[in-house]
Amino acid sequence: MCGIVGYIGDKNPVEIIMAGLHRLEYRGYDSAGVAVVNENGLECVKSLGKLKVMDALLEEHPLTGNLGIGHTRWATHGVPSEVNSHPHFDMQKEIAVVHNGIIENYQELRAQLESEGVTFRSQTDTETIAHLVRKYYQGDLFKAVQRALQDVEGAYAIGVICKDNPDVMVAARHGSPLIVGVGENEAFIGSDVPAIMKYTRDVYYIDNGHVCEIARGNVRTEDLQGNPVALEMKHVDWDDAAAEKEGYPHFMLKEIHQQPDVIRNTLRGRVEEGSDAVYLPDMNISVEELKACQKITIVACGTAWHAGMVGKYLIEKFAKVPVELDLASEYRYRDPIVPPHTIMIPVSQSGETADTLEAIRIAKSLGAKVTSIVNAVGSSVARESHGVVYQQAGPEIGVASTKAYTSQVTAFALFTIWLAESRGIMDKAQAKEMISHLRAIPDKIQSILDNQDVIKRLANTPKYRDAQSALYLGRSFNFPSALEGALKLKEISYIHAEGYAAGEMKHGPIALVTDELPVVCVAVQGDTYDKMVSNIQEIKARAGLVVTVATEGDKDILAHSEDVVYIPECYEPYSPILVAVPLQLFAYYVAVNRGCDVDQPRNLAKSVTVE
């Protein structure tokens, strides 16, 4: 996620903005910039790279004034570069904008503005806002921003300043967080509390659809239609560490709770409300190539590999293309067969995993078309692939992957619909139904998060919390859920945990079953439900400790389980997205109860950039 800081008051804004941006560095970024209004008009310094580059540039070229905005960019549209870094400007360089979010209709806005004579400098969606504000500007910056945003669709948190309005900063929000801080004859804007907490703890949280006109000590707020809105002042008493996690005790828990919005962002700009078509222009694969494709190879590591397994099940079930799934570390050392028209889909949150990168290079050398599912824009995986589906999940700080996993599965769901429709395997009615199921996922995740007390209680039950080992079982789409649930538990609580295909129980693992072995069984409603119940009964018959993840309303399962965790009813092929959440929470709370370092587990790195 990008970082925004702005200031208006009697102090020099640059020092305040840069201090605020440094406080937001934990969010991850690839470039930065600052603009100020002063007697010279609008002045700006921006650069690729870390804030220390900006610090050095500002040392050489100090900026002065009493009004300014700054930004750290986590790229979503347009690779990391100086020209793509924020702030962005109108053609006259008299209006500056910083933005966090995704403008879904930026391409049509850009085309319209270019047809009206506007020349763009960058590849970003953000720049369209600067030109739109100019288009409607007639001396009142607040009104111009308010009108411009009526043309915008998507998620935004923006700060806007103008050379000819030195006493006003304008801020607005829809979907991406933004706060206004108020001090003595001064005011601030920030993406979240850490950015401005050093200067004021009195803040307004801007709500969706609201625009704020911010003067030295006064904030006026209206909705986009001009109706006045009263904001409630909050006093924040977090310490610094808590502020970075927005009040959550760990980044991992914060990121688990971000998942409803993360799934909305992964879908954003790719499926329209009520539509029957998926839009993935960055995949860079033609319909002809999709039709000619005889084999898809998915390669990844760890959690990303589990997402790839769900992808395999989805693609083969709905698009009828054979899918080879392999660990990148295995793929690179065997002699893979790459027939003509093979498409490789690498999956990687960081985009820097060494084994995945090497697998890409091998596949390309053997003629494969490579199009990756990746979170980090402009990362090595993205750059070395022919095409990409960016997850749009924002930076994942916790070493244990959570939101990146559910975002990757969602990306595979999108790709599958697009592939199946392109190959004429899926008709528009089915595509519309599947898109509707996808769009229902975020609210279902939210209901799991709202009812997590059962999971917290289980995680603090000695027979689970103090277990020496655990088994996770699932079938079909939820076999990867079992693998992922086991990985979550083992990597943050250090309890040995193994994920297994439930049908394999009798081929060995059932020998492990005792009354001290927790066996987590994914038995949601679906094609393999009855088989799962049979497996559970086999375990219960041997005094096994069964914790079942089941579908709300399923009372029968209670008779076969020690404990049950319910998830909302869900379209089975997409149930791994929901199932992941209680298993993430279970692993998290067990690890916390065992006093483990949840965000930085021992021996682990967030990105395995070496073999």
Give all strands of the β-sheet with 369-374 in edge-to-edge order. 323-327, 295-300, 342-348, 369-374, 387-390
Name the minimum Å distance from CB 484 to ligand AGP.
Answer: 8
Q: What is the nearest approach in angstroms of ligand AGP to the Cβ of residue 192?
A: 24
| Closest distance of CB 460 from ligand AGP, Å | 22
Of all residues in this chain, which one has the CB nearest to ligand AGP in the complex? 302
Distance of CA 121 to the CA centre of its chain: 27
Cis before residue 228, ω within 30 degrees of 0? no
325 strand-pairing partners: 298
> Minimal distance in Å, beta carbon 495 to ligand AGP?
15
Q: Is 606 a catalytic residue?
A: yes
Tokens matching residue 510: 């059932």
Nearer to ligand AGP by C-beta: 393 or 557? 393
* For ligand AGP, the closer CB: 385 or 422: 385
Nearer to ligand AGP, 144 or 399 (CB): 399
**Counting every residue, how long is the chain?**
611
Helices (H) and strands (E) in the chain, counts: 20, 24
Question: 518 and 547 in contact (C-beta within 8 Å)?
Answer: yes
Cα angle 6, 102, 373 (rounded to 5 degrees) comes to 125
DSSP letter for each residue of 451-517: TTHHHHHHHTSHHHHT-SEEEEEE-GGGHHHHHHHHHHHHHHH--EEEEEEGGGGGGTGGGG--TT-
Tokens of 17: 């903005």
Rounded Cα–Cα distance for residues 95 and 358 (Å): 45
Residue type, 75: A
Q: For residue 230, give the amino acid letter.
A: A
The β-bridge partners of 112 are none
Do 312 and 325 touch, CB atoms closer than 8 A? yes
Nearer to ligand AGP, 349 or 561 (CB): 349
* Residue (382 or 533) nearer to ligand AGP, CB: 382
Q: Which residues bind ligand AGP (CB under 6 A)?
A: 301-304, 348-350, 353, 356, 399-401, 491, 607-608
**The three-state (H, E, C) secondary structure of 101-144, written as one string:** EEECCHHHHHHHHHHCCCCCCCCCCCHHHHHHHHHHCCCCHHHH
CB of 298 to ligand AGP, least distance (A): 13
Residue 492 beta carbon to ligand AGP: minimum distance, rounded to whole angstroms: 8
Residue 136 or 494 having the CB closest to ligand AGP: 494
CB-CB contact of 176 with 160 (8 Å): no
Helix (H) or strand (E) holding 564: strand 563-567
- Contact 66/19 with Cβ under 8 angstroms? no
CB nearer to ligand AGP: pick between 303 and 416? 303
Name which of 347 and 438 has its Cβ closer to ligand AGP: 347
Least gap, CB of 459 to ligand AGP (angstroms)? 18
Shortest Cβ 491–ligand AGP spacing (Å): 6
Q: Which residues pair with 202 in a beta bridge?
A: 235
- 162 carries an active-site annotation: no
Which residues are marked as active site? 2, 606
